[in-house]
Each structure stands twice: as structure tokens, then as C-alpha cells.
Amino acid sequence: MKRMRRSQNELRRKYGVNVVRSVLQIHKMLGHPSPGALAQYLQQAQCEAEWATCTRELKCSFCPERSRPKAVRIARVPLANSFNDQISIDVFYIQHRGDTQKVLTIQDDHSKYVVDAPIKHESAKSESLGEVSASSPS
């Protein structure tokens, strides 16, 4: 919400209070159309060009609340055909009692077998991961 207010203040400085207020009011009166659709409408209505530009940058506080959640994919084409065909690697951080630990995670894309290894220190040299913990999908 704070970010939304900062964004609105930046728009007011850029386009003026009246333009932002008018564009926001039109956006609400028309039932919260997408920025692109509203900008196109304003151009067709021969409003000043800055109104359309302002519309594209406008962040309405109500629109994200009423947007539908993104659909979760329940199935996908397999990326790998057998164990060790393809792996995915990422790094994440664990914070515990004020300490931050960097962890390397490796997942076999076929079996979803996961291996996590804490990264003690980083260097350009390759080295053994040492002791690792593994988990498999349940």
C-alpha cells in the first residue's frame, strides 16, 4: 500500500494533481478497465496525450485486490526422461537467529529428488560439497 501511495505521488508530480485525479476517476467510473484499454479509450476520445501516458503508469489500489489468482499448473510435459537427464540448480538463503546461511539446492527434474548443501564460502574453484542433506518428494 505504501508503494502504491509513493507511485501516486510520483505521478502527481509528473502529470499534475488534476490529471491523476481525473484519470483515476474515469478508471473507477468505467469499472476499472486495464491501463491499455483505458489509454486507448482516452485517445479515441481525443483527450490530451499525457492522460493516456498517465493511465498506463497509474496503479489502482482496488484492481490487484479484485484480480483473479493465477491458475496453478496441475500437469506439464516432463522435462527429463530418466534420472540424471536434467537437473535444476538454485541458491536460497536461510535466516536463523540472526545468522544467514546460503544453501545450494539441486533437483533431478525427472524424479524430483532434491539435494541441499550449505555453502560455507564461495570461490571460483570447484570443490566438493561435503556433507549434504537430501529429500525426495512425498
Binding site for Zn ion (CB under 5 A): 32, 60, 62-63
Comparison of 62 and 83: residue with beta carbon closer to Zn ion: 62
Output the residue with the shortest Cβ distance to Zn ion.
60
Nearest to 54 by CA among 67, 42, 44: 42
Comparison of 62 and 92: residue with beta carbon closer to Zn ion: 62
Provide, rounded to whole angstroms, the least separation between the CB of residue 14 and Zn ion: 19
Question: What DSSP string describes the chain?
Answer: -HHHHHHHHHHHHHH-HHHHHHHHHHHHHTT---HHHHHHHHHHTT--HHHHHHHHH---SSHHHHSPPPPPP-----S-SSTTS-EEEEEEEEEETTEEEEEEEEEETTT--EEEEE-----SS-----S-EEE---
Provide, rounded to whole angstroms, the least separation between the CB of residue 33 and Zn ion: 8
Provide, rounded to whole angstroms, the least separation between the CB of residue 24 and Zn ion: 8
Comparison of 66 and 125: residue with beta carbon closer to Zn ion: 66
Comparison of 60 and 103: residue with beta carbon closer to Zn ion: 60
Provide, rounded to whole angstroms, the least separation between the CB of residue 63 and Zn ion: 4
